[in-house]
Amino acid sequence: MTGCEWVIEAHGCNPAGLAHPETLNRLFTALVDGMDLHPVQPALWHQFPGSPAGGGGVTGLLLLSESHLACHTFPEFSSLCLNVFCCKPRAEYDFKAALHSILGATRISVRKLERPYSE
């Protein structure tokens, strides 16, 4: 048996969305619903201080019965780094569509890693 991990970078995102935990929570909700994931508690969010013109980046973590979702945002660079780890194989998910719809991302890289549990 193997797990699966997706490492995702999104660029060209709306900086305002990257600085608001509520927007990022919408992304996590879309991932949970679309991938049939099971949170064990609400997401935790930490907002970093921002400039006078806008909010700082956000780090978020959602603990799942399958493992976790984590994100780090960089509004000053219009980018987001997202990690999704599942202990069981999952059907493919359209990360690009979700990131474009919710954050306006224009360039998205998705890497899928198989995580074998034994040699």
Can you give the residue range of the structural domain that contains 69? 2-116
Instruction: Check residues 4 and 115 and name the one with the higher pLDDT.
Output: 4
**Range of lowest pLDDT (3-7, 13-17, 27-31, 50-54):** 50-54
- CATH code assigned at 71: 3.60.90.10
CB 57 within 8 A of CB 19: yes
Burial class (CB in 10 A: 0-12, 13-18, 19+), 8: buried
Q: How many domains does the chain have?
A: 1
- Which residues, including other chains, have CB under 8 Å from residue 1's CB and lie 6 or more apart? 88, 117
The pTM of this model reads: 0.92
Mean pLDDT score across all residues of the chain = 93
pLDDT for position 58? 95
